[in-house]
């Protein structure tokens, strides 16, 4: 069956992500070993760029369309790499200890891939993958969606 469609390429620059947390306190009193913690302010700023490619194919009989997308994004962390704080057990307030989240890493590479298929009868199917790679580790996610429009 012949199909028609064209690709679209967009450059993504600059891309700026910001995440900020104000300092806060937590206290856990419902357990035998009560814990108090002070979390410090956290400001993550990522700057980068990338490319986004999209293409849609329509069947010659116009009964179905298929859309695909791919996004590649590189970012550099210029803010805080980890959340930090100080905690202590309520029974030993003079013995504080530092707490620190896992560092995210300075260089981050993100990949998003997906395909959506729709029929004129109203049924649609989507499959997508999202991943992130950095010095601090990897993150992977897969998505599957089924829909019906009427």
Q: Quick: pLDDT tens for 1-40.
A: 455 667 899 999 899 999 898 888 888 877 767 888 888 8
pLDDT, tens digit, for every residue of 46-56? 999 999 999 99
pLDDT of residue 4: 63
Of the two residues 127 and 61, the one the predictor is more confident about is 127
pLDDT of residue 5: 67
Average pLDDT over residues 125-144: 93
For 23, other C-beta atoms within 10 Å of its C-beta total 10
pLDDT at 128 over 90: yes
Which of the 8 DSSP states describes residue 102? P
Question: Average pLDDT of 111-129?
Answer: 94
Closest CA to 80 of 42, 126, 24: 42
What's the pLDDT tens digit per position in 63-117?
889 999 999 999 999 988 788 899 888 777 788 888 888 777 789 999 999 999 9
| Structure-model confidence comparison of residues 1 and 44, the more confident one | 44
The ranges assigned to domains in the chain are 4-148
Residues 6+ apart with CB under 8 A from 124: 116, 117, 118, 145, 146, 147, 148, 149
Rounded to an integer, what distance in angstroms lies between the CA atom of residue 100 and that of residue 84? Answer: 4
4-148 CATH fold: Lipocalin (2.40.128)
Which pLDDT value is given to residue 1? 43
């Amino acid at each position: 069956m012949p199909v028609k469609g064209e690709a679209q390429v967009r450059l993504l620059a600059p891309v700026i992500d910001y995440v900020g947390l104000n300092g806060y306190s937590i206290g856990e009193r419902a357990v035998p070993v009560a814990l108090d913690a002070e979390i410090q302010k956290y400001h993550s700023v990522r700057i980068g760029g990338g490319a986004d490619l999209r293409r849609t194919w329509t069947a010659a009989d116009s009964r179905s369309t298929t859309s695909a997308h791919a996004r590649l994004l590189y970012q550099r962390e210029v803010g805080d790499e980890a959340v930090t704080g100080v905690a202590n057990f309520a029974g030993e307030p003079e013995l504080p200890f530092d707490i620190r989240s896992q560092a995210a890493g300075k260089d981050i590479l993100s990949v998003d891939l997906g395909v959506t298929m729709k029929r004129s009868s109203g049924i649609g199917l989507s499959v997508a993958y999202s991943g992130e790679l950095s010095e601090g580790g990897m993150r992977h996610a897969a998505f599957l969606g089924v829909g019906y429009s009427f």
